[in-house]
Amino acid sequence: MSKFQDSLLTWTGVILLNRSEILEKVEPLVENELATRGIEVVDVQYKNQRGRWVLQVFIDTPSGVDLDTCQTASEIVGSALDREDIIPSSYVLEVSSPGLDRVLKKDKDFERFKGRRIKLKTYQAINGRKNFQGTLLGLENGQIRIDLEGSVLGIPRELVVQVRLVAEI
């Protein structure tokens, strides 16, 4: 994404906040507001889709996510964002479940989903590859450990673009 696309501009062309700065402020606010209701924030994304800004909040609970949970979370998040006025322009708020192929981002995700199949993408090639699929062994010393059908690989977290569960149907 270009620097222009990553920034919100006023009509005068002055950059107010870029996407990363907005996420740095929004994510902890949303996590704190929903944690008190037993709702975990899995991921927060803020992106420009077809000319409009969209804030996506992916949530989970121990009993799963249904429409009522999404509606409740949406109301809580919407009120908190209105109160704090972090996002300086109009946007669409979307709240949903992370899906079967959820993103793993937090340390506790790597413990919780140990033993599950994952897809992992890196910024740069490791052993000639950027895409890996195998069984998650966990997170140790800043490395995501993955079993690639008998061969164990530790990938430094800072080299990882994204880790997703493989949907088991």
Partners of residue 58 on adjacent β-strands = 43, 96
| Domains delineated in the chain | 7-96 (3.30.300.70), 107-165 (2.30.30.180)
**Taking 60 as the threshold, does the pLDDT of residue 13 lie above it?**
no
Strand ranges (DSSP E) for the chain?
7-9, 15-18, 40-49, 52-60, 92-96, 117-126, 129-140, 143-148, 151-156, 160-165
pLDDT tens digits along 26-64:
999 999 999 999 999 999 999 999 989 999 999 999 999
16 band by pLDDT with thresholds 50, 70 and 90:
low
* pLDDT tens per residue, range 82-135: 999 888 889 999 999 999 999 999 999 999 999 999 999 999 999 899 999 999
**Residue 17 vs residue 8, higher pLDDT:** 17
Q: Report whether pLDDT(14) > 70.
A: no
Residue 82's φ and ψ, nearest 5 degrees, are -65, -45
